[in-house]
Amino acid sequence: MAVNLWGRSFLTLKDFTKEELEQILYQAEKLKIDHYAGKDEPLLQGKTIAVLFEKPSTRTRISFASAIWQLGAFPLILETTNMQLMRGETVPDTAKVMGRYVDAIVARVFAQKTLEELSKNSGVPVINALSDYSHPCQIMGDLQTIKEKKGELKGLRFAYLGDGNNVANSIIFGGTKLGMHVAIGSPKGFEPIDEVVSYGRKFAESSGGSLLITNNATEAVKDADVVYTDVWASMGKEAEHEKRVQVMMPYQINDGILKHAKKDVIVMHCLPAHRNEEITDSVLDGKHSVVVDQAENRLHAQKAILSLLVR
């Protein structure tokens, strides 16, 4: 039975039930089939969706603009550098006015608090296109990709190597809610925060999945169906790049580490990649890589989220 998500914000996967996440994945699959059949429906005809950027973007900007247009709505692309926010206007004041003009706000921001303030004050759905805490739209596209390649999600082994960042957090939330066996391999001091781990263990207990946090990269990828990584220094942490490269190198996804995963493992990266740092050319361009399909599915997953949340 379909669940009703109208009017809700999409800030983090921990706020959605297993059934609600499955509904989004079902909708994404349907909309992708319709798109390739030339049957895009203008489900948001006449709507205006603001897409707000504090951070640079390639895939998020293009995929959301295309998704909104394909749904029949107008994508209003905004840069905070060209708004009164840069002259001291508060996020709540901005949100209260934006909510009178647009039907939803998509925002790619530095701080999760910004999204929470937008959602609290705008009166319209706010969709997290990336924050320091969470990257839920990315992971919904990733889960759609895994389901396409593997046929199911429940029971699969999903390994992530690298910094315990916003992507790792969302993998934990989404994977454990859907019954996957999630393993995070990070250097000491770079593990996901305790709050996220606590939620993940709770979700895994309910779904029949599991969560492993380890400093051993080989242990994390053992018998994995999916191996995933992200850049070692996210936006805002570039000054730590050299230090992080030294610490993270044992967590690089290369041909050697993949030998510990299943023979039919798929390799994922949310992109952009720093080639031959967190992932080697031979893997990123190799037979196990699904990164281009993964990037495409951002479009379809985001169409699903928008079509289910926007009134």
Q: Is 230 a catalytic residue?
A: yes
Q: Give the integer Cα–Cα distance in Å for 95 and 115.
A: 10
Query: In angstroms, what CA-CA distances link 24 with 16, 73, 178, 294, 305?
Result: 10, 19, 12, 16, 6
Q: Is 61 a catalytic residue?
A: no
Which residue in 23, 27, 108, 163 is the catalytic one?
Answer: 108
- DSSP code of 10? B
Q: How many other CB atoms are found less than 10 A from the CB of residue 40? A: 15
Which residue in 157, 269, 298, 300 is the catalytic one?
Answer: 298
Which residue in 8, 144, 230, 294 is the catalytic one?
Answer: 230
Which residue in 23, 27, 135, 225 is the catalytic one?
Answer: 135
What tokens were used for 172?
């934990």
**Please, which contacts does 172-175 make with residues 24 or more away whose CB atoms are closer than 8 Å?**
172/196, 172/197, 172/199, 172/200, 172/211, 173/12, 173/13, 173/14, 173/134, 173/136, 173/139, 173/199, 173/200, 173/203, 174/13, 174/21, 174/136, 174/139, 174/140, 174/142, 174/143, 175/143, 175/209
Which residue in 23, 157, 225, 270 is the catalytic one?
Answer: 270
Q: Is 59 a catalytic residue?
A: no
Q: Is 108 a catalytic residue?
A: yes
Residue 170: partners with Cβ closer than 8 Å, 6 or more residues away = 12, 13, 134, 135, 136, 138, 139
Q: Give the integer Cα–Cα distance in Å for 129 and 124.
A: 15
What tokens were used for 203?
């979700």
H helices of the chain, where? 18-36, 59-70, 91-101, 112-122, 136-150, 166-177, 194-207, 217-221, 241-248, 255-258, 281-284, 291-309
Residues annotated catalytic, as ranges: 108, 135, 138, 230, 270, 298
